[in-house]
Structure 1
Amino acid sequence: MAKKWIALGGLAILIGIALYSFASQNADTVESLNNDQLGTDLIDNPGSSLKKGQVAPDFTLTTLNGDSVSLSDYKGKKVILNFWATWCPPCKAEMPHMQNFYEAYGEDVEILAVNLTDKDNGIDKIQQFITDYELTFTVPLDESGEVGTIYQAITIPTSYILTTEGTIQHKIVGPMDERMMEQLIQSTP
């Protein structure tokens, strides 16, 4: 019986450490955001081909229902360009926040949640994910992986915040919540 309690106590400590680490990381991200530095360092580094202020590379992909979607179609609107997969736990955590944000701001901000289909578990899983999370924003499929490569979506989720002119303002590696999205969009021309 004592061994069981020791094991449970150890598990509780590990969970506490994980939650503390996540909360600390999120607080650091929000502080960086408040200083308008979130994303800048990730884009403006010598090894990166994408730069803050650069026009985001255009692409055309297809959705699950066969519609063709081009990034350039959204010029004139701010865009959250997100890269994700169904098996990714941080992506699963982020999607409800994206949906809530889209419901609140969808008239002014477009969300393009590009599924990295070449790295995912099949079309059926993607469709089930969209249904389960009741996603109403556009989900283009990157079946070849080319767009994810261009946008350096190595760690997912990876998101870019684009201005109304279609230029890159921020790059975020990791999940966002609604508050972060609001702050990022407010700081984006």
Structure 2
Amino acid sequence: MSHGRASRRRFTLLAAPAAAAALALTLSACGTDNKTGGGGDTHFVTGTGGISTVARGDRATAPKLDGESLDGKQLDLADYKGKVVVLNAWGSWCGPCRLEAKYFTKVAKATGQDVQFLGINTRDPQRGPAISFEKDFGVPYPSFYDPTGKLLLRFPKGMLNLQTIPSTVVVDRDGKIAARSLTPLDDTKLHEMIDPLIAEK
């Protein structure tokens, strides 16, 4: 009887570090937490499915995002003012990013000229894996190459977390931040974010 208790105790003591390590890996790998609150003056209202939106009159201006794309060309968010812009932060190393990539590709191809998708590739120290990721999923839009997360840090405090990948921000036609999700999205959720903005005139 006591031998059984000792065995269980030893198993528990051995299992605890393994469980802690697994938890740490889960939290640090892609940061797929569901926190949608934010600090700063973002005015987000959290709806269902982890999507947060901002009323038209309360939206903050999107930060200046410019730099090199994965293929070495210059890319600037300001060039797309007048369109609804979907900004998706992703990494080739991130499993949930792979799960949502097919949906982003599908919706990007299906939406008209009113919508521009842009990726922000982050925490990929080399371009090669990220370029392969885009080829594998047939991604039809460009991505900023942001290996250290500098572009993500330009967003208002509390809006995005470098550790939370994938994450998506939608900018309205006036260049203001209108919606955000810190969780992976499918095509239905993507349309939930962008369709109301497409309808705005």
TM more than 0.5: yes
Q: By how many angstroms is 1:182 displaced?
A: 1.2
Report the counterpart of residue 142 of structure 2 in structure 1: 138
Mapping of residues 15-26 of structure 1, within 5 Å: none
Unaligned runs of 5+ in 1: 1-24, 26-30, 45-51
Q: By how many angstroms is 1:129 displaced?
A: 0.8
User: Identity percentage over the alignment?
Assistant: 27
Report the counterpart of residue 180 of structure 2 in structure 1: 171
Q: Against the structure 1 CA distance between its residues 106 and 125, is the aligned structure 2 distance closer, same or farther, given a 3 Å change threshold?
A: farther
Q: Against the structure 1 CA distance between its residues 106 and 93, is the aligned structure 2 distance closer, same or farther, given a 3 Å change threshold?
A: farther
User: When the two structures are superposed, what TM-score results if normalisation uses the length of structure 2?
Assistant: 0.67
Whether the aligned pair in 1 keeps the contact of 2:124 and 2:147 (CA below 8 Å) is no
| 2:151 aligned to which of 147, 152, 156 | 147
Higher helix share: 1
SS at match of 1:153: coil
| 2:84 aligned to which of 78, 85, 90 | 78
- Tell me which amino acid in the other structure corresponds to 2:52: G
1:114-168 C-alpha deviation (Å, 9 max, x unpaired): 101xx22521111111111111111111144211222323201111111100101
Mapping of residues 11-160 of structure 1, within 5 Å: 32-33=47-48, 38-40=51-53, 53-116=59-122, 119-151=123-155, 152-154=160-162, 155-160=164-169
SS at match of 2:105: helix
How many residues end up aligned between the 2 structures? 148
User: When the two structures are superposed, what TM-score results if normalisation uses the length of structure 1?
Assistant: 0.71
Unaligned runs of 5+ in 2: 1-33, 35-45
Root-mean-square deviation (CA, aligned residues, Å) is 2.5
SS at match of 1:176: coil
Report the counterpart of residue 16 of structure 2 in structure 1: none
Whether the aligned pair in 1 keeps the contact of 2:70 and 2:142 (CA below 8 Å) is no
Structure having the higher Rg: 2
